[in-house]
Structure 1
């Protein structure tokens, strides 16, 4: 499957995804992932090995450091990244940012995602996530707002929709449902050279994620597939079939291969139809900051929101998601 025009329809104005291609769709329950390959952009520090959470200096104030040395690359903080640690206050960011090699940056507009757990995060054992799709549009709207409790009402509504206690504890989903959510990571496979993905939930566009290179995407993969898009997919999971059924009707190996080929062709055609039906409309792009030739911008529109990093008209990083 190779349809660059489908990607171009999703991105604003002058942003170019030239050279990026779509691969064969994969499906896990309600979640469909279409791999994206393309030319890598060197010199960007990956988020897990490059970025370190050094401290949370009070509620809503989270500090990250680019651990790369003087010869390392600039870090692009993944949009809506958050950190979980036992017996500490979990936080997430409402925006992306640049960090130069060795630089530390205090995010004053972080949001607390755990309403009543005591303690602050320190630089110890940590794992990170990306906010579930259901919270991302609201979190982007709240960038720059200094209020650590600003997402609690939305988290409460999400928990209620998941049949969980109605309170502002995102860890009820991220930690207690983690074995279920990581099944999406286990059932969907990263492809060689993959540096991005299109995500659909129950046949509807959910998000487009583009990383600078495959190493960066591999490090953010679990946070995206298990949490950002795994949560809405978990909520949309179809009911299990009434009885056991064979996945394919085939009497021999050749018949099975033919059935698999038909299944792949049908899936490609189905995703092509979803892409053709993507909502369109005007998008606004506002530049937020620069680092040398790189520009970080916020994208908003009636159907799409997120942030992008560009070098000229070339896409370096993009995290764009369905706004409704």
Structure 2
């Protein structure tokens, strides 16, 4: 199976990933990250340095601003913010923000059942909702009600042996030292514009950014929180040590290099086979927003869901996750 075929099995129909290719897989425990290289689409504001949380105007109402001097901002799907002395929220959908534009998200979900207050503007950092909550959050886009995700968060906490409360920071903040280990054990590559994530060998998500700078600013939120939470819960025990061949005709540095290349090729082929085995079917697209020639659409298929931004027949941004 070719690299392109492996990606096309995930995004059938009109969602083309032409020009994107898989790199060498990296693994940290239950989490496998396959770098994706591809065409860069300049002119987009990066999410951390360009996008700012302006204010939290009461429960469930969050205002974001494109503070970049130039470039439209694609608000990352399911982005959320942790703030000091403020109620923590996450978004259920993506959106476009023109340079200098502010937008009030009336359908945001509070991810902190009690405490908090108003935005202090000091310490804040962003995350992406954990994989286990993303399908439900996407279903709730357009639905007003700040507490709409609390039951799902409570259930997630209970499954992880934590207090059954609608407090996502029980995982994101208190388990942050554990989750950030994925950031240090997996390394983004130069020019990387996306990643394929697998947990326990099964498809978990596909993330495509407009350019390497955008992806670099999303890296921590994706690897530690969007996919690191489920990977942490699925973490296997320590593997048994296997001896390396270091002598004989296959030994030495050349032998080790050859063995490494064979291992990489075998792992990539295995990933392609696993993706081909993912139940497929027609993908339904529902257009949500437009900005000039850009279109933001919600994708629904038997095996995945998420949102994607296209410019004509080119995929500019995608955040697709296993259902």
Partner of 2:285: 285
Pair 1:196-2:175 in alignment: no
Partner of 1:230: 228
Partner of 2:125: 127
Partner of 2:77: 79
Pairing partner for 1:149 from 147, 150, 153: 147
Using structure 2 for the length normalisation, give the TM-score. Answer: 0.95
CA distance 1:156–1:100, change in 2 (3 Å): same
Shift of residue 267 of structure 1? Answer: 1.6
Q: Structure 1 residues 211-220 or 79-88, which shifts more?
A: 79-88
Structure 1 gaps of 5+ residues are none
Give distance in 1, aligned partners of 2:88 and 2:50. Answer: 20
Partner of 2:179: 181
Using structure 1 for the length normalisation, give the TM-score. Answer: 0.94
* SS in structure 2 at match of 1:263: helix
Partner of 2:203: 205
Shift of residue 247 of structure 1? Answer: 6.4
- The runs of at least 4 consecutive aligned structure 1 residues that moved more than 4 Å come to none
Structure 2 gaps of 5+ residues are none
* SS in structure 1 at match of 2:198: strand
The answer to whether the 8 A contact 1:250-1:259 is kept is no
Partner of 2:244: 248
The answer to whether the 8 A contact 1:53-1:122 is kept is no
Give distance in 2, aligned partners of 1:15 and 1:267. Answer: 26
* SS in structure 2 at match of 1:200: strand
Q: Report matched runs for 1:31-42 at 5 Å.
A: 31-42=31-42
Shift of residue 265 of structure 1? Answer: 2.8
Pairing partner for 1:138 from 136, 139, 148: 136
Shift of residue 254 of structure 1? Answer: 4.2
Give distance in 1, aligned partners of 2:289 and 2:24. Answer: 35
Partner of 1:302: 302
Shift of residue 302 of structure 1? Answer: 2.2
Pair 1:168-2:173 in alignment: no
* SS in structure 1 at match of 2:297: strand
Pair 1:313-2:309 in alignment: no
Shift of residue 92 of structure 1? Answer: 0.2
Q: Structure 1 residues 9-18 or 193-202, which shifts more?
A: 9-18
Cα RMSD of the aligned pairs, angstroms, is 1.6
Tell me the alpha carbon deviations over residues 264-321 of structure 1, each in whole angstroms, 9 at most, x when there is no partner: 2332222122122122012210000100000000011222100000011110100000
The answer to whether the 8 A contact 2:94-2:307 is kept is yes
* SS in structure 1 at match of 2:112: coil
Give distance in 2, aligned partners of 1:81 and 1:209. Answer: 13
The answer to whether the 8 A contact 1:284-1:301 is kept is yes
Give distance in 1, aligned partners of 2:36 and 2:273. Answer: 18
CA distance 1:272–1:15, change in 2 (3 Å): closer
Give distance in 1, aligned partners of 2:235 and 2:225. Answer: 15
Q: Structure 1 residues 79-88 or 6-15, which shifts more?
A: 6-15
